[in-house]
Chains A and B, each alone.
Chain A
Amino acid sequence: MTRPATRAFLIWLLAMLAGAVVVWNSHFSADMSFFLPAKPSAEQQVLVDQLKEGVVSRLLMVAIEGGDAAQRAKASRDLRGRLEKLSEFVAVQNGEAGSQDADRNFLFEHRYLLSPAVKAERFTIDGLRDAIANSIDLLASPAGMMIKPLLPRDPTGELVEMLGGLNAGAQPNVSEGVWASRDGERAMLLIQTAALGSDTDGQEKAIDLIRSLFAEGTPGGELTVQLSGPGLFAVKSRATIKGEVTRLSTISTLAIIAVLFFVYRSGRLMTLGLLPVVSGALAGIVAVSLAYGTVFGITVGFGSALIGEAVDYSIYYFVQSSKLSVEQWRARFWPTIRLGVLTSICGFAALLFSGFPGLSQLGLYSLSGVLAAAIVTRFILPPLAGSNFAMRDLSHLGPVLKRGIAVLQGLRWPVIILTLVAASLLAINRDQLWHPNLSALSTVSAEDGAIDQALRADISAPDARYMAVITAPDREAALQAAERAGQQLDGLIVQGIIGGYDSPARFLPSLAMQASRRASLPASEELQARLQTALTDSPLAASKLGGFLDDVTKAREQGSVTRETLNGTSLALAVDSLLLQRPNGWSVLLPLRPPGGDKGIDIAIEPVRAALAGSGALFVDMKNEFDNLYNDYLHEATLLSLAGFVAIVALLAVTLRSPRRLATVLLPLLIAVVLVITGLHLAGEQLHLLHLIGMLLIVAVGSNYALFFDRADKGEGLDSQTLVSMAVANLTTAIGFGTLALSNVPVLHAVGITVGPGAILALLLSACFVGRQRD
């Protein structure tokens, strides 16, 4: 090695080592934060919190299939018994009788502090008479059998008042004493993990535990277990992304190595040719890791495309400079390549400004990768390769390519007509082109989605679409606010606008509320005297209500219900999931239930907003937020793509200094975009925002080829070397992006399926339109 070569190599090696250290210490993640907004609105923050740590995100649904109902019930009980002992699970429900006794006892024990009906008026003579008469009426009803044993202690019916607010609507079926699916063919369990929804490792561990403990409890293999839930989706999608990153990078690397070997026929040149690629891939991860702290798996998956793009520069260098000195190459070709690099960078840089974190990472990753690859090609590669490298002579391919170009140039009018047809087709179908929501980007397969829906329906699992959200500085203030909002919501129930709601204040009232309820309870003698008068004409004699007097007296002296009092009941879980401590205060969630029946499953949003206005509670429709989020992303991606496009046009305009040349460079790129999009539409692909980004990348990447033809057009002519280098570079780019098209991850697939064919078309169309016709 020469001295400059040694120096270049050492600098490169040092940079690589530093990069490797950064990558080694990087945090990689394959969770959904890829899709969650970087700067969320208040409503979107609720959505993000729910997805990351909400109760619903921690629910796993389990179905046991096979065998007979008794075997399934036994397996269900056995699984619950095993899981319940583990700290990884906060709740394991399977509908077993007895599991609700603790809750009922707690409610009954503390009924005078918890019942919303406890007010001073209720314990006046009239109040007592009405409440007791009402309870006696209830005895006449079929529900009477349940309340009869409690009547002497609870004649005013506080337990009924409390249970009235709970969701008694949908309950899962029961078979052999445990929950079963609607068709009775599966036993069902609902499990809440201790791990947050965003903790994919924790979710994976919980899922593995469920599977292995189930297998332990049911040897023989007659019964099978099926799981679903957000946690499972997270684990599966992480596995998918991990697998894809390896698979796609391997495919694209092997294919590109094969192409390079065919072109170079030299192990040394091939290795050198891969230097910029390796440097680019490493630089991309380093930049993302330093800028964002976390590198998304999908970003790394994008590396397969980067490989195809980054290898181009070394191809240009080796093929074009085989008959030139380094200086001549730098003078003749480098400015064109540099301009191509800059247009690519413009395209990727537009993504940096996206509020969609995944997109901005992809932008930074590709930008740094391309830049590093270009720099390595320009400064490191020539000294390392030396001036005399044995490049295979490919000039015999030149005439073939030139004949091809001549044919293409004869096709100008047909291409223009085809483009016009395609454009009008797109214009006519413009309303059906786009996928309407964020699910387009989800890695959850249709099959898994269907299983999830089936299990969810079988177990009546909450979907938590509507919520009122309150934030407050401390727990007491949060609970008081929840009580105030609750009063408004009670009004909406009466009007039939909502069916019901959950509130942590139902089981854990604010201390102020408990104090006021306690203060409304009369002293024993006073209560006894009032009862005597109230029950003069009643079939229920006051003398039979000793238990009532004792319980009221006890309640007057009873301490307040605190969060600790709830321990040992499932109500603790309900409260914890609805009352959350945040770094800067407390927040309360009040899930709202739709009115049901013929009023459907939607809640009219306006009346709820109006009722909650001024209560400090924010009403959030999760589905709406998801749709809005996606629309925001799409809208932003449109703007960014346009901005990127404008930047590329401006860059080319400044460099080319000729409107005509600018137009001839842009025309083939725009035609390529139109044809690719039409092709995708006809192939049945619904477009989403990554296809849109793909369009920008067609222009950014494709401009490289148009620029070479433009340079030739300027009078320098296209020699065989340049043509061959372009063909090979185009092939590797198409391989890199094309590999992404194989991906099951929609984000990667969309970019690949758009840019892969787009890059090839950009080359062919540039040949067709940009090159000068030589008659």
Chain B
Amino acid sequence: MIKRLLGCLFLVALALPASAAFDVGQLMSDLAKHKGGKAKFVEKKYISLLDKPVVSTGEMTYTAPDRLEKRTLTPKVETLLLDKDILSIEREKQKLSINLANQPEALAFVDSIRGTLAGNRAALEKNYALYLSGNSEKWVLTLLPSEQKIAAMVQRITVSGQKNQVRVIEYLQTDGDRSVLSIDPIELK
């Protein structure tokens, strides 16, 4: 607890000096300018049960403000499509569709990534406390869940990026397992 508190203080301390020039509002408006694009991703899941991380790779396409497609190519082809509040997952011959409006916890989870990509501060602050460090060239945004139900699943979400491009999203789960999603934009010609 003390450690976590110190961590927060540290983050706050980091955030304060930058706030004059670069604050959450500035970052959000930068991010909101990003109208979407295609990126490669590598996701590593560190799970205590497993001796090695589970690695998956693929492509992501984001279209502002609320359409995100994540196409996993290895180890198994799987498509995850988030369109407004409908999350559909297609894997082998199975197709699953979830209306996130029905699942507030899942929605909060999804909002962490969608809100960041879209620069939607209100959506993020609904469920998380935001802490920003760094400058517009290289920033780290930390999301700490404020809602009890989300805090029971996710301890912390750390998003880092450059300018208006998100580069790494790290989820630290409450049980200590974590996943790191690295995003590498494909430059459009």
A interface with B by C-beta (< 8 Å): 136-145, 148, 151-152, 164, 168-169, 171, 173-175, 493-494, 539-541, 544
Contact = CB atoms under 8 A, between A and B. Distances in A.
A140 B70 CA distance: 13
B51 A171 contact: no
Contacts of A138: 76
Contact of A141 (B50, B72, B98): B72
Interface in B135-174: 153, 173
Given A136-B54, A539-B52, A539-B54, A141 B78 contact: yes
B43 interface: yes
18 contacts: A136-B54, A138-B76, A139-B45, A141-B80, A141-B91, A142-B70, A142-B80, A143-B96, A145-B153, A148-B49, A169-B95, A171-B102, A173-B99, A174-B99, A174-B103, A539-B52, A539-B53, A541-B51
Contacts of A141: 56, 72, 76, 78, 80, 89, 91
A392 to B, nearest CB: 78
Given A174-B101, A493-B93, A494-B93, A140 B50 contact: no
Contacts of B52: 539
B51 to A, nearest CB: 5
Contact of B102 (A143, A174, A540): A174
Interface residues of B, number: 32
Contacts, number: 68
Interface in B51-102: 51-56, 70, 72, 75-76, 78, 80, 89, 91, 93-99, 101-102
A235 B52 CA distance: 64
B130 interface: no
The 7 closest A-B pairs by CB, nearest first: A174-B102, A539-B52, A539-B50, A140-B56, A140-B54, A137-B75, A539-B51
B29 to A, nearest CB: 29
Given A148-B49, A168-B96, A493-B93, A140 B72 contact: yes
B55 A142 contact: no
A151 to B, nearest CB: 6
A493 B93 CA distance: 9
Contacts of B49: 148, 151-152, 540, 544
Contacts of A169: 95, 97
A175 B103 CA distance: 9
B47 interface: yes
Nearest to A184: B101
B99 A139 contact: no
B113 to A, nearest CB: 11
A175 B107 CA distance: 13
Given A143-B96, A144-B54, A174-B103, 19 more contacts: A136-B50, A138-B76, A139-B47, A140-B76, A141-B76, A141-B78, A141-B89, A143-B91, A148-B47, A148-B177, A151-B49, A171-B98, A173-B102, A174-B99, A175-B101, A539-B50, A540-B49, A540-B51, A544-B49
A140 B93 contact: no
A141 B43 CA distance: 10
Query: Which of A140, A494, A541 has the most chain B CB within a 10 Å cutoff?
Result: A140
A579 B43 CA distance: 46
Given A137-B75, A148-B177, A164 B94 contact: yes
Contact of B76 (A137, A152, A164): A137
A111 B49 CA distance: 22
A743 B60 CA distance: 63
Nearest to A149: B175
Contacts of A143: 89, 91, 96
A152 B56 CA distance: 21
A598 B61 CA distance: 23
Given A144-B45, A152-B49, A494-B93, A139 B54 contact: yes
